[in-house]
C-alpha cells in the first residue's frame, strides 16, 4: 500500500509531464511552428488514433524480439556471471573476452546478423540480447562479488550447506544489484528492437518510423516514438513490479516510509 509520500511523488511527476506537454502545445501554436518541423501534441495523438490499425500490429511485432531478447539476456547474463564469480578458471578465460566484446559497437555489426541467422525474428532477438546482456552480466558480477564476508562467515559457522548459503545469503544480498542491471537492460531493449528493424525488416515500429520519416510525416514519427517509449516503459514497469515482490525488505522499496519519517522529524 502506497504512503502519502509515494502518492505525492507520483502526483508531482504527472504534473510535470502534463505541464511539459501543455508548454509544447502552446509554444507550437504561439510561434506557428510548421508541422513538418514540430507538430503539436494534440496533432500527434490525433494521427496516432487515426492510424492505430497500422501501429497496433507493428507494436506487437516489435514487442516480440524486445521481450524474447531481454529474457534470454537475463538468463544467460546471470548464469555467466555466476560462472565468472565462482570459477577462477572461467573468470581468467572469459572475463577478458567479455570486456573486449562489450567495447565492440553491437549496432555496427547488426547487418552481419542477417548473414549469420537470417532475415526475421532470430536476427532481431540476437541484437536485443547483445545490447541487454552486458548491463546484466556486469551488474551480476558486481552483485555476487560484493557480498559481505561477515554474513557469509556467519552462515558457514552454522554449518549451512553451500547450496543453502547461496539461496539464503548470497542470492538475496545480490538481488538489488541484479535488478538494477535488469532495469537498465529493459530500457535498452526497446532501442535494440527498433534498431534491428532499421537494419532489416518489412514490419514493426522501426519500419514504420523509417517510412514516416522519409515522407516527412513528423506527427506520425512522433507518434511511433511515443509508442516505442510506452513499450519500453511497460517492460521496465514489469521488472520493477517483480523487484518489489522479490525484495520488499530492501531500503529502495521502503523509500516512501523513509521520506515520510524524515518529513515528520
User: Residues 135-191: pLDDT tens digits?
Assistant: 899 899 988 888 766 666 666 666 667 778 788 888 888 899 999 999 999 989 988
Query: Sorting pLDDT into bands at 50, 70 and 90, what band is 9?
Result: confident
Query: Angle, to 10 degrees, between the axis of helix 218-246 and the axis of helix 171-199?
Result: 160
What per-residue confidence (pLDDT) applies to 61? 93
Handedness of CA 24, 184, 234, 73 (dihedral sign): positive
- If you search the block for the grid coordinates 557480498, which residue do you land on? 147
What per-residue confidence (pLDDT) applies to 202? 78
Pull the grid cell for residue 105.
559497437
Residue 47 has pLDDT above 70, yes or no: yes
d(CA 225, CA 210): 11
Q: Provide mean pLDDT across the span 52-81.
A: 94
d(CA 199, CA 94): 30
Q: Where are the domains of the chain?
A: 27-255
What beta strand segments (E) does 21-155 contain?
none
Q: Provide mean pLDDT across the span 34-39.
A: 90
What per-residue confidence (pLDDT) applies to 260? 43
DSSP code of residue 80 = H
Contacts (Cβ under 8 Å, ≥6 apart) of 260: 3, 4, 5
- Domain 27-255 fold is MetI-like fold (1.10.3720)
d(CA 209, CA 222): 9
Residue 2 has pLDDT above 70, yes or no: no
d(CA 98, CA 161): 31
Q: Provide mean pLDDT across the span 233-238.
A: 94
Q: Closest Cα partner for 237 from 170, 190, 168, 171? A: 190
Q: Provide mean pLDDT across the span 37-50.
A: 94
What per-residue confidence (pLDDT) applies to 264? 45
Phi/psi at 203 (5° precision):
-160, 170
Which pTM was predicted? 0.85
What per-residue confidence (pLDDT) applies to 258? 47
Query: Sorting pLDDT into bands at 50, 70 and 90, what band is 211?
Result: very high
Residue 227 has pLDDT above 60, yes or no: yes
Query: Sorting pLDDT into bands at 50, 70 and 90, what band is 239?
Result: very high
Amino acid at each position: 500500500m502506497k504512503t502519502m509520500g509515494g502518492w505525492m511523488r507520483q502526483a508531482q511527476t504527472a504534473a510535470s509531464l502534463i505541464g511539459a506537454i501543455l508548454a509544447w502545445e502552446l509554444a507550437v501554436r504561439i510561434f506557428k511552428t510548421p508541422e513538418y518541423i514540430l507538430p503539436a501534441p494534440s496533432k500527434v495523438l490525433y494521427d496516432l488514433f487515426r492510424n492505430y490499425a497500422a501501429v497496433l500490429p507493428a507494436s506487437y511485432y516489435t514487442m516480440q524480439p524486445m521481450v524474447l531478447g531481454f529474457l534470454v539476456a537475463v538468463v544467460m547474463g546471470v548464469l555467466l556471471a555466476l560462472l565468472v564469480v565462482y570459477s577462477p578458471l572461467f573468470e581468467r578465460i572469459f572475463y577478458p573476452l567479455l570486456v573486449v566484446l562489450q567495447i565492440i559497437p553491437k549496432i555496427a555489426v547488426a547487418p552481419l546478423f542477417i548473414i549469420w541467422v537470417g532475415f526475421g525474428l532470430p536476427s532481431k532477438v540476437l541484437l536485443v540480447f547483445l545490447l541487454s546482456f552486458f548491463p546484466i552480466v556486469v551488474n551480476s558480477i558486481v552483485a555476487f562479488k560484493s557480498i559481505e564476508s561477515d554474513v557469509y562467515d556467519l552462515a558457514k559457522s552454522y554449518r549451512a550447506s553451500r547450496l543453502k548459503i547461496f539461496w539464503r545469503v548470497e542470492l538475496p544480498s545480490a538481488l538489488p544489484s541484479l535488478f538494477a542491471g535488469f532495469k537498465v537492460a529493459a530500457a535498452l531493449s526497446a532501442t535494440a528492437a527498433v534498431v534491428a528493424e532499421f537494419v532489416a525488416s518489412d514490419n514493426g515500429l522501426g519500419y514504420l518510423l523509417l517510412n514516416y520519416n522519409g515522407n516527412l510525416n513528423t506527427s506520425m514519427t512522433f507518434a511511433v516514438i511515443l509508442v516505442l517509449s510506452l513499450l519500453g516503459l511497460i517492460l521496465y514497469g514489469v521488472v520493477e513490479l517483480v523487484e518489489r515482490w522479490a525484495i520488499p525488505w530492501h531500503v529502495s522499496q521502503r523509500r516512501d516510509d523513509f521520506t515520510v519519517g524524515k518529513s515528520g522529524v
